[in-house]
Copies of this chain bind each other. A is one copy, B any other.
């Protein structure tokens, strides 16, 4: 059975004073005689008194808790983001209440409700991919609970957010491929309807434009393509592809597979750059060049924005488009190449 914790009243009774006096002694607030204060502190320590945050929450209408809605845990990106969030919130003395959405809107709505019911002081959310309705977000905001979006945002939601600069990230990758001499650069796009998919594609286009390379439709594939492997094979066989930039690291590995099959050496004949800097990138052979999105920093920034908003609801809209880092590894020729 859960043992009854010792309360402020227990101490008060033992010492023949009132709870208020004990409260004052413990919180240093009002005036208490040195003698009583010491007695109280001593007894509290002896009995292992720990204040009950539940009671305080009820009184103060705040819980020192932050709610987190995240699609899932298993992608390295989210793990790192979570670590960044946790490092900031735990430092600030906040607890983290975590819900997953599984990229499922219904579950996201439920999670939002759950967190609001729990009276969290603020919510950090990565909204799910398939969101087309935002009533639950709107309801969340109407409730007055501060909200900060991380990793994904929507123009329909006016609240602080931290995202990664996908355009620049993609641009830097494709720019690099052009610099090392690639002229037929394959791009595998991400899932439809995702701003990241769109922005990375824009970065790709812009880099080609900068280098006066014509965009060729036949060099564009989509991650959702049926028989993606076959399409990559066709592409590599027929279009003298010498570079590839993919929406994710995992898509880059698909290219690795086909290239290995076709005996196309990487990076000698084909330079490849992925996206996300999954840890696997450094273990695969050749090691994969990729774009690092600094997920830890993203989480940390998001958490800080949220704390700011909690402490000052009238704060100006804080928005961050986080810089990416291009990480060149064995899958690309060198700049002199």
Interface residues of chain A, those whose CB is within 8 Å of chain B, are 1-5, 50-55, 57-58, 61-63, 65, 72-74, 76, 79-80, 82-83, 86, 90, 95-100, 114, 116-119, 142-145, 250, 253, 256-257, 260, 278-280, 283-285, 313
Contacts and interface: CB of A to CB of B under 8 A. Distances in A.
Nearest to A62: B2
Given A74-B79, A284-B284, A285-B260, A114 B98 contact: no
A55 B145 CA distance: 19
A110 to B, nearest CB: 9
> Which 7 pairs show the lowest CB-CB distances between chains A and B?
A280-B280, A3-B144, A73-B79, A2-B144, A74-B79, A253-B283, A54-B57
How many copies of this protein are present in the complex?
2
A150 to B, nearest CB: 15
Contacts of A278: 280
A143 B105 CA distance: 39
A2 B53 contact: no
A103 to B, nearest CB: 13
Contacts of A53: 117-119
Contact of A97 (B79, B82, B96, B257): B96
A241 B63 CA distance: 59
B83 A95 contact: no
Contacts of A83: 72-74, 100
A58 B58 contact: yes
26 contacts: A2-B61, A2-B62, A3-B142, A50-B117, A52-B58, A52-B119, A53-B118, A53-B119, A54-B54, A54-B63, A73-B79, A74-B79, A74-B279, A86-B100, A90-B99, A90-B100, A96-B97, A97-B97, A253-B283, A256-B285, A257-B285, A260-B285, A278-B280, A280-B280, A280-B284, A283-B284
Given A4-B61, A72-B83, A83-B100, 17 more contacts: A2-B62, A2-B144, A2-B313, A5-B119, A5-B143, A52-B119, A53-B117, A54-B63, A55-B58, A74-B79, A86-B100, A95-B118, A256-B285, A260-B285, A280-B284, A284-B284, A284-B285
